[in-house]
Structure formats: C-alpha cells, structure tokens
Amino acid sequence: MTGDDGKNGGVAAVDRALSLLSAFGAGDNSLSLTELAARTGLYKSTALRLLNSLIQAEYISREGDEYRIGREIFRLGEIYRRYHGLREAVIPAMQRLADATNESVVLHVREGDHRVCLHRIETKQLLRFVIREGDSLPLTVGAAGRVLLAFSGSSGAPYDTIRDDFFYASVGELSPDIGGIAAPVFGPGGALLAAIAVSGPASRITPDFIGKTRPLVLSAVAEATSACGGDPAALRLAERLAVLLRKEAAAIQG
C-alpha cells in the first residue's frame, strides 16, 4: 500500500477530491472551507489544495470565502441525462399521468445499489413529497425501487408478484408519510430502462386511489416503452387487467 492507494484500488487524492464534490447537498448554494472540511473529515490545508485543483477544472467555483458547484458539473449532468435518452420519450406520458392523477410523477433509473430521480413533474397541490432531479434513494424501499429490483432479477416476495403484475404500490416504506405507485419502462429487447412512479403524501395514496391509478400508470409506462423502442404488449395486457379489476371492485361496492 502506498499513499496513493484509495478505496477499492482507486487513487486516494481522487477519492478525497470526489468527497468534496459529494459534500454538497440539494439545499446547499455554497459551503465554506470550514464546512467542507467538517463534512469530509479532511484537514483544511488538504481540502484547500484539492479545491484549488477543482476550481481550475471548473468543477468548483469560488466567491469570496464560499465555494459552489462549478459549471463543469452541470455540463456532465446534461450529458448524463442525454446518455439515458429518456426525456423526450417519457415526458409526454409522465405529463399526462400527472394531469390525470394530480400528483407528482417521477422517473427513476437504477445506479448500482440506489435509484436516481432523473426526471420529475411536480404536483400543483401544496402538500407534496419533494424529491429533486439527481437525488439518490435506496432501492430496497419504495414503489419505484421495488419495481427496479423486480425486473433486475430479484426473486421472492414481493418481486415475483411485481413481475406478474408489472406494478407495485407502497405506503410508508420510504417514510411513514409517503406513498407511491410504480411500473417499469422497457427498451428494445425487453431491457429495463427505468420506473415511473406516482408519489404523494400517504394520506392521499389510499387503496381507492391506488385502484384508480394502477391502470393509468400502466398506460403511461406502455406509452413510454413504445416511445423508447420497446414492446408494450405485456404492459397493455396488465393495463386491461387492472381496468377489469377496478370495474369488479366498483361493482362490488355498488
């Protein structure tokens, strides 16, 4: 081992520089050197040297004693979004779903052991679950995470059922106050691309809402799948089944 050895065989200096970038949270417009050192555990002198290198590369910008995310990060973020190539294909379906449900609609993609919010359409209701584009969440809790795991090969409950239904709803998994309904988006050859989820406060994600929204979500992902070059046939079949189940439930209640 040398001083250059980092995590998992990487380079320690690079790991430390990346830790400075990762120190910025969604609500941080800027951070001081003291705050960055505290969040990363680096000595101020070490953090300052690394920050100077990041400034030269435009990953960080400095205004007085405050440091901000630089424009190079924005450029790479746009490349990331274009690489996934989903925005133009899925936004129309997501917008129609948001209009139909009056709730927030989110597109999640899998990144390792997490899911990342790639696109979001915000509800106009005042009480809402706030997640920003770029935010990372666990895979193992929440409707979208469960869907991504189910179609990535996870087996057992609830993943076998999710693969049969092409759909999952959860309330209180990610947080006691949050609920969601999600379904998968596929590309050519049946490759899993993403999950589209309707999310909102648990008080509004009721069993009746889930029953009404299930066919709407399945219709949206079928539309998005078709736009992405995938085969929506199985999703359309699941949508028709959801409509029938909804009619049966309404008949019983009536």
> Model confidence over 36-93: pLDDT tens digits?
999 999 999 999 999 999 999 999 999 999 999 998 887 787 666 665 667 788 999 9
Q: Which CATH number fits domain 7-75: 1.10.10.10, 3.30.465.10, 3.40.50.300, 1.10.357.10?
A: 1.10.10.10
C-alpha–C-alpha distance, residues 75 and 57, integer Å: 12
Whether the predicted pLDDT of 9 surpasses 80: no
C-alpha–C-alpha distance, residues 236 and 221, integer Å: 9
Tokens linked to 87: 């925005």
pTM for the full predicted model: 0.70
C-alpha–C-alpha distance, residues 104 and 200, integer Å: 7
C-alpha–C-alpha distance, residues 243 and 168, integer Å: 15
- What are the pLDDT digits (tens) for 167-192? 999 998 888 889 999 999 998 889 99
Categorize the per-residue pLDDT at 4 as very low, low, confident or very high, splitting at 50, 70 and 90: low
* Interstrand relation of 168-171 and 178-186 (parallel, antiparallel or unpaired): antiparallel
Amino acid at 78: E
> Looking at residue 118, what is its pLDDT?
86
- What percent of the chain shows pLDDT beyond 70? 92
C-alpha–C-alpha distance, residues 203 and 103, integer Å: 12
Where do the structural domains in the chain lie, given as residue ranges? Answer: 7-75, 85-253
C-alpha–C-alpha distance, residues 65 and 240, integer Å: 59
C-alpha–C-alpha distance, residues 244 and 241, integer Å: 5
C-alpha–C-alpha distance, residues 108 and 132, integer Å: 11
> Looking at residue 67, what is its pLDDT?
95
For the ranges 77-81, 109-113, 138-142, the lowest mean pLDDT is seen at: 77-81
Residue 113: CA count within 13 A, CB half-sphere: 0
Residue 75 CA: distances (Å) to CA of 72, 147, 210: 5, 30, 38
> Looking at residue 46, what is its pLDDT?
95
Q: Which CATH number fits domain 85-253: 3.40.50.1220, 3.30.450.40, 2.40.10.10, 3.30.390.30?
A: 3.30.450.40
> Looking at residue 34, what is its pLDDT?
96
| DSSP designation for 2 | -
C-alpha–C-alpha distance, residues 227 and 211, integer Å: 26
Categorize the per-residue pLDDT at 254 as very low, low, confident or very high, splitting at 50, 70 and 90: low
Across residues 118-147, what is the average pLDDT? 85
Contact assessment for residue 131 and residue 117, using Cβ atoms and an 8 Å cutoff: yes
> Looking at residue 250, what is its pLDDT?
78
Across residues 7-21, what is the average pLDDT? 84
| DSSP designation for 5 | B
Beta-bridge partners for 111? 114
Whether the predicted pLDDT of 123 surpasses 80: yes
Sheet order of strands, 192-201 included: 136-138, 114-121, 104-111, 192-201, 178-186, 168-171
Quick one: which of 56, 39, 50 has its CA closest to 12?
50
> Looking at residue 3, what is its pLDDT?
46
Give me the chain's average pLDDT, please. 89
- Which residues touch 161 (CB under 8 Å, ≥6 apart)? none
Taking each helix axis from N to C end, the angle separating 44-56 and 33-40, rounded to the nearest 10 degrees, works out to 110
